[in-house]
Every structure is written in structure tokens, then in C-alpha cells.
Amino acid sequence: MTPDIYKIELIGSGSLSVMAKPVSGEWIDDEFAGIANSGIDRIVSLLEPNEEIEVGLSEEKLCAEKYGMEFVSFPIKDRGLPNSIQEYLAFTKRLYQETAGGLNTVVHCRAGIGRTGIIAAGVLLHCGFEPEEAIEHISKQRGVRIPDTEEQIEWVNQSHAQHITNCST
């Protein structure tokens, strides 16, 4: 099984990719083997705990580790926003730095569009992309417009403004 993984950007010696949630059920083992075989070192899940159960991914961390991948959970409400801009900027900066250091990272939520889009855009902001440039780039690579909502687009814009402020102080 070859999962649909969309490479967004090479960053340093690593790469940033996005995808919809991994397949679960009887194909879960094949899915995680496929993710690992595609060169992914780290899976970042944005699913909330109740969603993990609902979509059959409550054991995602164990599945990732079984195939030698790091697993990171950063839950965000479906069609929602992270808890704070500072937390978001710190998390996306961490992803940027660790990806640049050589980790091939894939980010997912349920559909791989909304929450995934704002996290991927946040990483690209640390690469020097402007907000609209990041959104357009991810949308082109993903093959669908990201993120889901106007609030999520505004979040990327606001976080960029805060990122610029943080860098200038």
C-alpha cells in the first residue's frame, strides 16, 4: 500500500509533507509500513483524542514506533485553531528546526487540509515564506485549496505578524 503523501518543501536536509489521516482497520499495518517506506521519519498528528478513537487511530503512536518513526501529537479541534499563537509559533519553529536538521516530517489531521494546512504554513513562515505564498504553495502541492476556513487563513496572517514582531525584538 502506498499512502498519498504530498511533499511540500525540502527544508535543510529534511522534508515537510502533508497527508490525510492514515488508513486504519485491517490495513493499518500496511499503511504505516508504506509511510515508513516512503522515507518519513516523523508523523505529526493534529487529531484530538476523541477523533483518534472515532477514526481507529488510538494506537497511532505504537504503529509509528513499530516502523521506526517518531510520533508527535498536537491536537487541534476539527476546523479550529491552536490554543495560542505563541504555542503555535513555538511548535512550528520546533518542526522547522528538526526538519531542517534532517527529519522527514509528515503532518496530518482528518482530511489533511485545514489543521494540517495551518501547521504546514507555520513551518513555511519560519522558512521565510509570506502567508499567502505559503498557502498557495501548500495548496498547489496538496492539489486542493488549504486551509478550510477564513479563520484559519486569518490565523496564518496573524501568526506571521507576531512572528515578525518576535524576530524584530
- Domains of the chain (ranges; CATH) run 6-168 (3.90.190.10)
Report the pLDDT value the prediction gives residue 2, as an integer from 0 to 100.
85
C-alpha cell at 158: 496573524
Write down the pTM of the prediction. Answer: 0.95
Name the residue among 94, 144, 91 with its Cα closest to residue 117: 144
Ranges in the chain, pLDDT < 50: none
Q: What is the pLDDT of residue 164?
A: 75
What confidence score (pLDDT) does residue 163 get?
76
pLDDT in tens, 44-56: 999 999 999 999 9
pLDDT tens digits for range 132-158: 999 999 999 999 999 999 999 999 999
Q: What is the pLDDT of residue 169?
A: 58
What is the pLDDT, as a whole number, of residue 12? 97
pLDDT of residue 26: 94
